[in-house]
Homo-oligomer: A and B are copies of this chain.
Amino acid sequence: MIRAGILGATGYAGQQLAWLLFRHPHVKIHFLSSYNHTDVPFSQIYCQYEGFIQDLCIDIQSIEEHLSNIDILFIALPHGKAFPITEKALAYGVKVVDLGADFRLKSTEIYKAWYGLDHECSNLLSSAVYGLPEIHRIQISQAQLIANPGCYPTASILALAPLLKHRLIDPSSVIIDAKSGVSGAGRSANIATLFTECNESIKAYGVAGHRHTPEIEQELSLIYGENLHVSFTPHLVPMNRGILAACYGKLLHKLTQEELYEIYQFFYKDEYFIRIVENLPETRWVRGSNFCDIGLRVDGRTGRVIVISAIDNLMKGAASQAVQNMNLLFGIREIEGLELLAMIP
């Protein structure tokens, strides 16, 4: 059994991770840790665990003493909080999956520019692997430290990778217009995410300045082979879960929709979690699962391709992707514990 610890278990991503690890056949949760709810039974904060996960959430300060008893540490904390504990955990030989942003960007300058913080562990960046298995599977399986991708980047990179890998579109033409459920904003007391402030409305936010932009660009540049910049616009949608990304690109050569479908099907032919779908994706079909559904449309009138991808932001966009990475790290079957289909309605 893999012994796991979760740092930040009472946030939505951390809790989703606990849900997944609890039912994972090869994992034993060793501790749940929380900033805000120390010494409270987990089942009192999330009552669905009543009778199942009744452990007290331990203090984040006290987790160091537990490091020698775990094999993997999941960190689900706000950015800037993962540095010291990651170093310590690695020193104990514990593998680390950071669901936050602290090890995603390879450049400390870009990290500082977008997050406003100095990077405290630049020495770890070269060995940290960006945990998008469909793109970096082999490196992940050999890593000690995984930077679990952001939710928007996961949906965006998977949607655009085939187009850029095959240089089918003008890289300067890429626009990503993405929409997220409210759980992406986390579980902290905040007027802006009250029911009454989000319900019955939609808004864009962070236009031309969202922190997931450099992460998307880093990975798409790697795939393309040259540096590129994208326009990325996130929106807040009145629903609990889900990300839908509409990705636009100018085709460099004429291409039919059928040809495009073949390219995508081939590109992802071995990927269990990527479904190239004929109908346009809807977030409900992937809710609660690790799937990324992708649909394609060629607009002959404008010479553009529109790729729509859908994920569950807390699953493929956070917790279930972290489990997928864990499975790779420990040489388990990649889909173990992740054979989940959306529950409808």
**Taking CB as reference atom, which chain B residue is nearest A306?**
B207
Asked whether A187 is an interface residue with its Cβ less than 8 Å from the other chain, the reply is: yes
Task: Write the A3-22 contact mask toward B (1 if CB under 8 angstroms, else 0).
Answer: 00000000010011001001
Kindly report how many copies of this chain are found in the complex they form together: 4
Contact A244 B203 (CB under 8 A): yes
Enumerate chain B residues within 8 angstroms of A248, measured Cβ to Cβ: 175, 177, 231, 248
Contact across chains for A239 and B242 when beta carbons are under 8 A apart? no
CB-CB contacts of A39-57 with B at 8 A, as 1s and 0s? Answer: 0000010111111100000
State which of A98-106, A129-137, A282-290 sits at the interface with chain B: A282-290
B240 touches A293 (CB 8 A): no
A32 to chain B, nearest CB (A): 15
On chain B, the residues within 8 Å of A44 by CB distance are 279
Q: How does the 8 Å CB contact mask read for A332-345 relative to B, with 1 for contact and 0 for none?
A: 00000001011111
Contact with B along A147-169 (1 / 0, CB 8 A): 00000000000000000000000
- A345 nearest CB across to chain B (Å): 4
Listed stretches A64-72, A87-95, A119-127, A190-198; interface member: A190-198
The answer to whether A144 has its CB under 8 Å from any CB of chain B is no
Closest to A53 in B: B341
Cross-interface CB contact of A277 among B50, B200, B205, cutoff 8 Å: B50
Question: In the bound complex, how far is the Cα of B304 from the Cα of A279, in angstroms?
Answer: 30
Of A258-266, A294-302, A321-329, the stretch lying at the interface with chain B is: A294-302
Roughly how many angstroms separate A172 CA and B303 CA in the complex, as a whole number? 10
Asked if B283 and A341 make an inter-chain contact with CB atoms under 8 angstroms apart, the answer reads no
The residue that A50 contacts in the complex, of B15, B183, B285, B344, with Cβ under 8 A, is B285
In the bound complex, how far is the Cα of B120 from the Cα of A201, in angstroms? 39
Which listed residue (B48, B279, B289, B344) contacts A344, Cβ 8 A? B48
- Given A207-B280, A207-B297, 18 more pairs with CB closer than 8 A: A12-B196, A19-B343, A22-B341, A44-B279, A48-B341, A48-B343, A175-B177, A177-B246, A179-B235, A187-B191, A187-B196, A189-B191, A195-B195, A195-B238, A200-B283, A203-B281, A204-B246, A208-B299
22 intermolecular pairs with C-beta atoms under 8 Å apart: A12-B345, A19-B344, A22-B341, A47-B279, A48-B287, A49-B341, A177-B248, A179-B179, A189-B194, A197-B345, A199-B238, A199-B240, A199-B345, A202-B237, A202-B282, A204-B306, A207-B297, A208-B297, A231-B306, A233-B306, A235-B246, A248-B248
- Give the interface of A toward B (CB within 8 A): 12, 15-16, 19, 22-23, 44, 46-52, 172-173, 175, 177, 179, 181-183, 187-191, 193-205, 207-208, 229-231, 233, 235, 237-242, 244, 246, 248, 275, 277, 279-289, 293, 297-302, 304, 306, 308, 339, 341-345
